[in-house]
Amino acid sequence: MSVYSQCCDGAPRNPFMERDVTSPIPLPMRLMRRLTLAANRLRGSMSLGVRIAVRSDDGCVLLVRHSYMPGWYLPGGAVDPGETLAQAAVRELHEETGAQALSPPRLFAMYLNVRISPRDHVALFCLDDVRLADTPPSGVEIRESGFFPIADLPPDTTPATRRRIAEIVGVAPTDPVW
């Protein structure tokens, strides 16, 4: 049983991650993200990333809000050199939310993310068994995280995140393009 089994009953989603999210995304972080994406496009290099869908027993999914781009996303990020895809997914989950995987994540699908570049790929993992950390993760990348009912996601959940969740719960076919 997941330790998040009561996340959608009106209690705080993740009390230690409640932060002021009214301030705009810092310009330097947005600029760095755009410069990194532009450099990758110019180099023609392939990139590989991961996302991880953590679901609770009561029909909620864990989402994060980044400090450098708007909207709610599944936790995830880049695969580091020497890391397997599953290791990257577990690491990103921990770095972004403080949650610790209690079982290995399951690969759900691989996607081509043409919005980033024609050589960008994303591996999507699923995980149902996690433990929340006692203290928030350090860093400035994540402004907020929390569990949300799958049937009532925040209005600014990204379209790609909504599509992935629909695929995972079986209400939409898996599309090979992110």
CATH assignment of the domain containing 72: 3.90.79.10
Asked if the structure places residue 79 within a domain, the reply is yes
Q: What is the mean pLDDT of residues 69-76?
A: 97
Q: Report the number of distinct structural domains present in the chain.
A: 1
Residue 57 exposed, middle or buried by CB count within 10 Å (0-12, 13-18, 19+): middle
Asked if the structure places residue 23 within a domain, the reply is yes
Query: What is the pLDDT confidence band of residue 11, given thresholds at 50, 70 and 90?
Result: very low
Asked if the structure places residue 21 within a domain, the reply is yes
Scored b (16 or more CB within 10 A) or e, 131-162 reads ebeeebbeeeebbbbbbbebeebeeebbebbe
Residue 24, pLDDT > 60, answer: no
Radius of gyration over alpha carbons of the chain, in Å?
Answer: 16
Higher pLDDT among residues 11 and 31, named by residue: 31
CA distance 154 to 16: 19
The whole-number pLDDT of residue 28 equals 64
* Longest alpha-carbon distance in the chain: 48
Asked if the structure places residue 35 within a domain, the reply is yes
Residue 36: domain span? 15-168
Q: What is the mean pLDDT of residues 44-63?
A: 92
* pLDDT tens figures, 117-127: 888 999 999 99
Asked if the structure places residue 178 within a domain, the reply is no
Residue 16, pLDDT > 90, answer: no
Helix segments in the chain, DSSP class H: 27-43, 85-97, 159-168
First to last CA, the chain: 30
- Find which of 1-5, 40-44, 129-133, 145-149 is predicted with most confidence, using mean pLDDT: 145-149
pTM of the predicted structure, to 2 decimals? 0.78
Asked if the structure places residue 6 within a domain, the reply is no
Residue 17, pLDDT > 50, answer: no
Asked if the structure places residue 2 within a domain, the reply is no
Sign, CA dihedral 49-92-96-52, equals positive
Asked if the structure places residue 125 within a domain, the reply is yes
The whole-number pLDDT of residue 116 equals 75
The whole-number pLDDT of residue 74 equals 99
Tokens 């610790």 -> residue = 100
Residue 23, pLDDT > 60, answer: no
